[in-house]
């Protein structure tokens, strides 16, 4: 077992940190207030290779491993978790699935510009009545010659307004239940395809989240990803990798909470002493640090298993479950350490709490992660 990062991984971490501090940090507070999408930042991230980190160079990506991706996600999310989720959806939910299951045509036409950051992707599984139970897809895709005709609705879709390409799960054969779900790649601007208004969210406010609608939307059969009936497996396999990205997003928020707490506790005075001299504060900081390290180990383990092409779905669920939990706890403790100043925007930690909460909900709620983990254990021979 080796806990050392490679030269390349250290370099990625450093360049992600430098970019986040120089290009993202100055506007993150304003974008949280205005809920404005970070167009310029995402464009620059693409130019630097951060939007297709794990895609092979032949498909336009940076050809890096999942550990590097985790390191970059932590640095971006430490400064702005909205940027983190935009980056995560493009990397793990869109590019990864297209590289693994797309045809050469799909890779050349869609994956390459996505991996280069010239285009942005979205992943549309959730529906008003199909969230945790994603098997209950009501969006229909009926075959009509060389096309599929889509009708239905998706909701809560990250990058829903600003994406160029959308991976959409829809039912091609109702009688087959979840074995009758398929995945399609749909371009923005396709007639019959629209989106709703940007949701006014508690946190990750500058990322966009909205519903999608399909009314007799014709999609060429070449844009079917993998095979008919493989859409549910596609979604679940893709989400396994996605959960590592969300664990890293949560870790970034938790680390930011700890750093802010250490800094503030050494500055703030009470009862003639800096509050870092009080054991109650010291223990909070120690507890935060231990939990962050444990979460990091879980996340790196899942990433390392994925990189060595071993089974990792249980470990990815564990990493997301624990990292999201401790991100919420760390943000709450950071507010407590900041006292009244923690409750106002100026000191950032209140945003960390608002941003952290979503990591316990999307890409499978914490309850769903526990189902994945317990099923894996109970099914083990
Ligand atoms: C900001 C944001 C961004 C999102 N981005 C995307 C995206 O890009 N693409 C996408 O497809 N979706 C996205 N989602 C949707 C997200 O994945 C779902 O909200 C999530 O999976 C939960 O589904 P739900 O909201 O329908 O809750 P429900 O499934 O209705 O769950 C409600 C509650 O019941 C619990 N519950 C449900 N079933 C069980 C069970 N069997 N046992 C125990 N407890 C259970 C849940 O854990 C939860 O606490 C996003 C959501 C948000 C808020």
Q: What is the DSSP letter of 352?
A: H
Give dist(CA 325, CA 367) in Å, integer. 12
CA angle 53, 114, 117 (to 5 degrees): 70
CA of 125 from ligand 1 middle (Å) equals 11
Q: Where are the alpha helices (DSSP H) in the chain?
A: 7-19, 25-34, 39-47, 66-79, 81-88, 96-101, 104-106, 112-115, 231-267, 279-307, 313-338, 349-357, 366-379
CA of 303 from ligand 1 middle (Å) equals 24
Instruction: Name the one residue in this structure whose structure tokens are 């928020």.
Output: 253
Residue 147, pLDDT score = 98
CA-wise closest residue to 359 among 320, 330, 333: 320
SS3 368: helix
CA of 3 from ligand 1 middle (Å) equals 34
CA distances from 174 to 146, 160, 178, 214 (A): 20, 26, 8, 18
Q: Which neighbouring-strand residues pair with 57?
A: none
Q: Return the HEC string of 211-256.
A: EEEEEEEEEEHHHEECCCCCHHHHHHHHHHHHHHHHHHHHHHHHHH
Out of 90, 202, 362, 363, mutate this one to test ligand 1's pocket (max ligand atoms within 8 Å of CB): namely 362
CA 86 to the chain's CA centroid: 7
CA distances from 143 to 75, 171, 212, 241, 291 (A): 44, 11, 20, 30, 50
Q: Which neighbouring-strand residues pair with 220?
A: 147
Out of 89, 206, 361, mutate this one to test ligand 1's pocket (max ligand atoms within 8 Å of CB): namely 361
Residue 381, pLDDT score = 62
Residues near 320 by Cβ (< 8 Å), separated by ≥ 6? 243, 244, 246, 247, 250, 359, 363, 364, 369
CA of 121 from ligand 1 middle (Å) equals 20
Residues near 309 by Cβ (< 8 Å), separated by ≥ 6? none
Q: Record the tokens describing residue 313, joined without a space.
A: 């779905």
Could you write out the DSSP letters of every residue in 101-162? H--HHHIIIIIHHHHTTSS-EEEE--BTTBSS-TT----EEEEETTEEEEEEEEEEEETTTT
| Burial class, 318, CB count within 10 angstroms (exposed 0-12 / middle 13-18 / buried 19+) | buried
The answer to whether the CB of 124 is under 6 A from ligand 1 is yes
Q: Mind listing the pLDDT tens digit for each residue in 198-231?
A: 999 999 999 999 999 999 999 999 999 999 999 9
Instruction: Tell me how far apart the terminal alpha carbons of the chain are, to the nearest angstrom.
Output: 26
Catalytic residues: 363
CA-wise closest residue to 159 among 42, 316, 29: 42
pTM listed for this prediction: 0.98
The answer to whether the CB of 223 is under 6 A from ligand 1 is no
Segments in the chain below pLDDT 70: 381
Residue 1, pLDDT score = 85
Residue 380, pLDDT score = 73
Q: Which neighbouring-strand residues pair with 137?
A: none
Q: Mind listing the pLDDT tens digit for each residue in 257-281?
A: 999 999 999 999 999 999 999 999 9
The answer to whether the CB of 365 is under 6 A from ligand 1 is yes
The answer to whether the CB of 131 is under 6 A from ligand 1 is yes
**For the chain, how big is the Rg over CA atoms in Å?**
21
The answer to whether the CB of 358 is under 6 A from ligand 1 is yes
Out of 120, 126, 130, mutate this one to test ligand 1's pocket (max ligand atoms within 8 Å of CB): namely 126
The answer to whether the CB of 357 is under 6 A from ligand 1 is no
SS3 23: helix
SS3 22: helix
Q: For residue 132, give the ligand 1 atom closest to its CA.
A: 29
| Burial class, 199, CB count within 10 angstroms (exposed 0-12 / middle 13-18 / buried 19+) | middle
The answer to whether the CB of 135 is under 6 A from ligand 1 is no
| Burial class, 345, CB count within 10 angstroms (exposed 0-12 / middle 13-18 / buried 19+) | exposed
SS3 358: helix
């Amino acid at each position: 077992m080796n806990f050392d990062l490679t030269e390349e991984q250290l370099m990625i971490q450093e360049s992600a940190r430098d970019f986040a501090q120089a290009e993202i940090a100055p506007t993150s507070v304003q974008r949280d207030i205005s809920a404005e999408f970070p167009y310029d930042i995402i464009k620059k991230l693409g130019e630097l290779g951060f939007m297709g980190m794990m895609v092979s160079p032949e498909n336009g990506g940076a050809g890096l491993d999942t550990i590097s991706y985790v390191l970059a996600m932590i640095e971006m999310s430490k400064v702005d978790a909205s940027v983190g989720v935009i980056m995560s959806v493009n990397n793990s939910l869109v590019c990864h699935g297209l590289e693994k299951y797309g045809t050469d045509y799909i890779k050349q036409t869609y994956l390459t510009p996505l991996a280069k950051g010239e285009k942005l992707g979205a992943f549309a599984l959730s529906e008003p009545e199909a969230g945790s139970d994603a098997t209950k897809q009501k969006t229909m895709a009926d075959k009509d010659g060389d096309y599929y005709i889509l009708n239905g609705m998706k909701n809560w879709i990250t990058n829903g307004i600003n994406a160029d390409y959308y991976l959409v799960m829809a039912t091609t054969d109702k009688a087959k239940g979840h074995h009758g779900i398929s995945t399609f790649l749909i371009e923005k601007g396709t007639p019959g395809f629209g989106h709703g208004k940007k949701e006014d969210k508690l946190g990750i406010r500058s990322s966009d989240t909205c519903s999608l609608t399909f009314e007799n939307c014709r999609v060429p059969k070449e844009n079917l990803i993998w095979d008919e009936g493989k859409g549910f497996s596609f979604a679940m396999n893709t989400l396994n990798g996605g959960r590592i990205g969300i664990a890293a997003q949560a870790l970034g928020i938790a680390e930011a909470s700890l750093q802010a707490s250490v800094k503030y506790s050494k500055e703030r005075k009470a009862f003639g002493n800096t509050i870092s001299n009080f054991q109650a504060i010291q223990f909070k900081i120690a507890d935060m640090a231990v939990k962050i390290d444990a979460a990091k180990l879980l996340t790196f383990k899942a990433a390392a298993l994925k990189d060595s092409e071993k089974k990792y779905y249980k470990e990815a669920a564990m990493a997301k479950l624990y990292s999201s939990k401790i991100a919420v706890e760390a943000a709450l403790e950071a507010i407590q350490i900041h006292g009244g100043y923690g409750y106002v925007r100026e000191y950032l930690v209140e945003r960390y709490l608002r941003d952290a909460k979503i990591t316990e909900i999307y890409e499978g709620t914490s309850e769903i992660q526990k189902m994945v983990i317990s099923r894996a254990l109970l099914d083990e021979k």
